[in-house]
């Protein structure tokens, strides 16, 4: 019998949390994923959605897991100061980042946001967390049958995409990313090749993108192009614009499915099993 391999979305919004009546169905929390592969637990990003995830993890038996960051813009790290397991020494959390383009480290960034006058509790209180670095393109070392490959993405300050492979199935997370870098664009179809699930940054439409070129985000139309080029089974639109209402996401989802049957729009609580 195959072991569990799943991805759960705890935050799907981009830039800033957006609570309110117009975002109830898709959710307003920012980037956070939970991946289960057999007995392994891996989290990707620690946006505002990580607060609720942390509460649930504290009620589970798992005490050792990895936390991978796509990058360290605020919407992807703002949940860490409120992530309950990070303060509990009975947990062992290895936090990884591989997007930096200089000598900056993950602990440097976390220490900056968790220091007065920005935040009253210092990063040194995260007793459960060990910070590690890699270079985008490396494979994250593991011995449990879960393979984690990485790739460089195009985003201000850098970003890292992930591919998770387990028992013949695969999940890719491609956010935050802007199409247009020839080298990265040429590499991505092979990186996502034949993926069962591909999370993709679709913050804008092609029409909107003309105004926001250079901001580091892509479009749902580019998600369709990449899914076709890489023969992706289920592409999932992610990193929703904070101005985007549920009804507007419904319309984008319909247009995307007409262009690529099987396309999904990410929502809080969504569980995907390849």
Q: Which of 216, 176, 82, 191 is nearest to 137 (CA)?
A: 191
The pLDDT tens digits of the residues spanning 204-235 come to: 999 999 999 999 999 999 999 999 999 999 99
Query: What are the residues facing 162 on neighbouring strands?
Result: 150, 173
DSSP helix/strand/coil, 111: helix
User: Which domains are seen in the chain, by residue range?
Assistant: 5-272 (3.60.15.10)
Under 8 Å CB-to-CB from 18, ≥6 apart: which residues?
28, 242
Mean predicted confidence (pLDDT) in 43-66: 96
Q: Rounded to two decimals, what is the model's pTM?
A: 0.97
Residue of 245 and 103 predicted with greater confidence? 245
Going through 107-254 in order, the beta strands assigned E by DSSP cover 129-133, 139-140, 147-153, 159-166, 169-174, 197-201, 234-238
Query: What are the residues facing 164 on neighbouring strands?
Result: 148, 171
pLDDT given at position 84: 97
Using the structure block, give the residue that is written with the tokens 């959390």. Answer: 93
Going through the chain in order, the beta strands assigned E by DSSP cover 5-11, 32-37, 40-44, 64-69, 92-97, 129-133, 139-140, 147-153, 159-166, 169-174, 197-201, 234-238, 264-265, 271-272
pLDDT at 1 over 70: no
pLDDT band at 239 (very low <50, low <70, confident <90, very high): very high
pLDDT at 154 over 80: yes
- DSSP β-ladder status, 32-37 and 5-11: antiparallel
Tell me the chain's radius of gyration from C-alpha atoms.
Answer: 17
């Amino acid at each position: 019998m195959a072991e569990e391999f799943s991805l759960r979305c705890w935050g799907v919004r981009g830039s800033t949390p957006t609570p309110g009546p117009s975002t109830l169905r898709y959710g307003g929390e920012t980037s956070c994923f939970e991946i289960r592969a057999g007995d392994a637990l891996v989290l990707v990003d620690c946006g505002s959605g990580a607060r609720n995830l942390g509460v649930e993890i504290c009620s589970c038996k798992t005490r050792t897991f990895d936390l991978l960051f796509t990058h360290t813009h605020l919407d992807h790290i703002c949940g860490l100061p409120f992530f309950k397991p990070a303060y509990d020494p009975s947990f062992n959390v290895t936090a990884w980042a591989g997007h930096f383009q200089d000598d900056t480290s993950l602990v440097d960034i976390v220490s900056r946001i968790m220091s007065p006058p920005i935040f009253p509790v210092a990063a040194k209180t995260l007793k459960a967390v060990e910070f590690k670095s890699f270079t985008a393109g490396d494979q994250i070392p593991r011995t449990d049958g879960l393979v984690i490959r990485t790739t460089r993405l195009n985003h201000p300050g850098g970003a890292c995409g992930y591919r998770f492979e387990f028992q013949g199935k695969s999940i890719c997370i491609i956010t935050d990313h802007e199409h247009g870098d020839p080298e990265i664009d040429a590499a991505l179809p092979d990186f996502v090749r034949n993926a069962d699930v591909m999370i993709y940054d679709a913050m804008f439409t092609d029409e909107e993108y003309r105004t926001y070129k250079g901001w580091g985000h892509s479009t749902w139309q580019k998600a369709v192009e990449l899914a076709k080029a890489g023969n992706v089974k289920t592409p999932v639109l992610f990193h929703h614009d904070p101005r985007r209402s549920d009804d507007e996401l419904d319309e984008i989802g319909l247009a995307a499915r007409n262009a690529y049957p099987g396309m999904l729009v990410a929502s809080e609580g969504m569980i995907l099993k390849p």
